Amino acid sequence: MRGMWNYINRRLSLRLGLDIIFVVAVIFVLAMSYLFLRSKDYLRQSAVNRASQILDNTGHRITDIMGEVETVADNMAWYVDGCMDPDSLIRDTREILLNNPHFHSCSISMEPNYFKQYGRYFSIYSVRDADTISTAQYGSDDFQYFNQEWYSKPQGLLQGCWIEPYLNTNPQATYKTDVITTYSRPLLDSNGYFIGVIAIDLNLKWLSQEITSVEPYPNSSSIIIGSKGQYLVHPDTLKLIHESIFSDPAPESKTIVDSLGQKMIAGESGMLSCYQTISGAIAPLQLLAHQAHDIAEGHYSNRLPKTSRYDTIGQLQNSFADMQASLSDYVDNIGLINTQMEDRNCELAAANEKALEADRKKTAFLQDMMHQIRTPLNIICGFAQVLNDSFHELPPDESRNITQMMQDNARKMTHITRLLLGFASPTSHIVLKKETFSCNEACREVVDNCRLTNSSTVKLHFETMLSDDYTLHTDKQRVQLILEELLDNANKFTQQGTITVSCGQKDQQTVTIRVSDTGIGIAKTDRKNIFTQFVKIDLFTEGVGLGLPLSKRAAQRIGGDLVLDEAYDQGAAFVLTIPINI
């Protein structure tokens, strides 16, 4: 290094060249520094000027919107003065919103008892909801609109004025959570007396969305504050009215923000880089992370609430809430499918149990059927053997009793066979044989052919309120079979007393045949099952559980019905209803 320095000192030209290069380098650095500082100031000033211009344009835009509101209200006040009737006022409030799509709502409110036919209160209020405009009449003891500031202030000033933004507190309003600002204009009659107020509302959420969409420069936004510093326009619409510029900043920037807020209240505009705004804006992301963790843990019921913010974070939160709702619905659907599968399995198990029960009933029925057929068949075979072996030795009376018992048991087997054939034949296959016959005569035939089991203690009576020439045009054989079945049941369950068959006319188109007895009756718990096939109340009595069900089916086939008289308490009573002409 020392040798090189000595070499440079011995060369004058080389030393001068190095000195010149050094001086030029210093000058170049100073020049570039100067140009950098000037460019920085220029760019800063350009950004400020551009932002100020945009803010001024935004201010002019707000002024134009407010001026438009004032112009419409003033013109409408002049127009309404000449058309003061309720129907016109309703139409006018709607026309204002139809012609001015950025107006939120409009109302025309009159002094108490101005329209006496409508009572003390008359306030027509039209409000916009997307593309729909709804109109209603407001005012009540709970909401006396004439005590509201938007009514009383222009009443006192007798001139139009703007009302500080407020939260709609009308308990009758559908949109009572809207933050609105109102321009109120008094209505005066031809003599200059105050008669009401026309008020036009702007929704601060809509206004905030419109204004904050204009960015003075990248990553910035516009705000508007009220006379006390409360936010009227802010990118986070949840802060409107509820928070102010003085309560919002972080401690390290409070002095600067407070100064800016005071200037804005004084009518000046200003700009500030607020890092805490970023912190507040991304706060919902922490909530998103917490909800995502809950979903990962399998907890789907904790729903993320939606927000009314219009910025990207708000859109993200709402999209996540929709996704979470869809996921929760999907999980709920899976749970519902599982529940349905469990229900289906239970139904299959129940169906299987019913099949087993049906199989058990079938086995019991076959066993009962074998008993019901075998008993009379054994009696017939036994007496036939007696007659074959000792016919000439038997006294005539005993022979007659034997043959009578054989006929009775043969009749029982015929009855069982007929019931089984009736059960096997579908209702649609029943062939009706229509004929005209006397109702009394048909009933007497059945009564006369009935042999009482306990003839010494039971009496059989026939009563009728019909004349003997009263005729029916229906299936006589089927009517008599139904009566035979009813009498057979009464005969089996009546040990003493009476069995009564009575005929009467229900109306001009229908007759009734009633079969009542003084037997053991039917318990209330068993009554719902008496018309069910193969059901026997007493398993030890004769029968296969088909008589009453088939009788009811036959009665319905000829257009009538067979029912139990549940009011009768002396035994059992059945009522057969038959149309006179089938």
CATH number at residue 475: 3.30.565.10
The model's confidence at residue 99, banded by pLDDT at 50, 70 and 90, is confident
User: Does 513 reside within a domain?
Assistant: yes
Per-residue 3-state assignment (H helix, E strand, C coil) for 132-143? EEEEEEECCCCC
Residue where one domain finishes, among candidates 242, 261, 281? 281
Residue 276 predicted with pLDDT over 50 = no
On whether both 444 and 563 belong to a single domain, the answer is yes
Number of domains in the chain: 3
- Containing 500, the helix (H) or strand (E) segment is strand 497-507
Least trusted range by pLDDT, from 181-185, 245-249, 401-405, 462-466: 245-249
CATH number at residue 381: 1.10.287.130
* Tokens representing residue 176 in the block: 């009572």
- pLDDT for the residue numbered 205: 72
- pLDDT for the residue numbered 278: 39
Which residue, among 168, 157, 89, 162, has the nearest Cα to 123 in the 3D structure?
89
Helical packing angle, 476-493 and 439-449, nearest 10°: 40
On whether both 391 and 520 belong to a single domain, the answer is no
On whether both 433 and 569 belong to a single domain, the answer is yes
How long a stretch of residues is the chain?
582
Please state, in angstroms and rounded to a whole number, the distance separating the CA atoms of residues 13 and 148: 94
The model's confidence at residue 574, banded by pLDDT at 50, 70 and 90, is very high
Q: Which domain holds residue 349?
A: 284-424
Residues 297-307, mean pLDDT to the nearest whole number: 68
The model's confidence at residue 175, banded by pLDDT at 50, 70 and 90, is very low
Q: Mind listing the pLDDT tens digit for each residue in 150-168?
A: 899 999 988 888 887 776 6
Q: Which residues contact 51 (CB under 8 A, 6 or more apart)?
A: 216, 217, 220, 271
Residue 557 predicted with pLDDT over 80 = yes
Residues 264-270, mean pLDDT to the nearest whole number: 56
Least trusted range by pLDDT, from 45-54, 146-155, 499-508, 573-582: 45-54
Q: Mind listing the pLDDT tens digit for each residue in 28-72?
A: 667 666 666 666 666 666 666 666 676 667 767 777 878 888 888
* Tokens representing residue 182 in the block: 């109102």
User: Does 234 reside within a domain?
Assistant: yes
Residue where one domain finishes, among candidates 281, 312, 333? 281
Residue where one domain finishes, among candidates 363, 398, 424? 424
Residues 541-551, mean pLDDT to the nearest whole number: 73
Whether the Cβ atoms of residue 487 and residue 502 lie closer than 8 Å to each other: no
On whether both 246 and 327 belong to a single domain, the answer is no
* Tokens representing residue 579 in the block: 């149309």
Residues 376-397, mean pLDDT to the nearest whole number: 72
- pLDDT for the residue numbered 270: 47
User: Does 575 reside within a domain?
Assistant: yes
DSSP label at residue 541: S
On whether both 367 and 435 belong to a single domain, the answer is no
Residue 347 predicted with pLDDT over 90 = no
More confident residue, 199 or 117: 199
Please state, in angstroms and rounded to a whole number, the distance separating the CA atoms of residues 546 and 514: 20
Per-residue 3-state assignment (H helix, E strand, C coil) for 105-127? EEEEEECCCCCHHHCCCCEEEEE
On whether both 252 and 317 belong to a single domain, the answer is no
Please state, in angstroms and rounded to a whole number, the distance separating the CA atoms of residues 299 and 392: 97
User: Does 129 reside within a domain?
Assistant: no
On whether both 261 and 356 belong to a single domain, the answer is no
What residue has token string 């804005």?
A: 264
More confident residue, 424 or 77: 77
Q: CA quadruple 174, 179, 185, 188: dihedral positive or negative?
A: positive
On whether both 463 and 384 belong to a single domain, the answer is no
* Tokens representing residue 390 in the block: 């000792």
> What is the average pLDDT value for the chain, to the nearest integer?
75
More confident residue, 520 or 82: 520
Across 207-221, 278-292, 397-411, 501-515, the highest mean pLDDT is recorded for 501-515
Q: Mind listing the pLDDT tens digit for each residue in 368-385?
A: 666 666 677 777 777 777
Which residue, among 508, 507, 499, 563, has the nearest Cα to 530 in the 3D structure?
563
Q: Kindly list the distances between the CA atom of residue 288 and the CA atoms of 87, 135, 285, in Å, as whole numbers in the listed order.
A: 51, 40, 5
Q: CA quadruple 536, 537, 540, 541: dihedral positive or negative?
A: negative
Residues 198-206, mean pLDDT to the nearest whole number: 82
User: Does 312 reside within a domain?
Assistant: yes
Q: Kindly list the distances between the CA atom of residue 52 and the CA atoms of 208, 271, 318, in Å, as whole numbers in the listed order.
A: 19, 9, 34
User: Does 183 reside within a domain?
Assistant: no
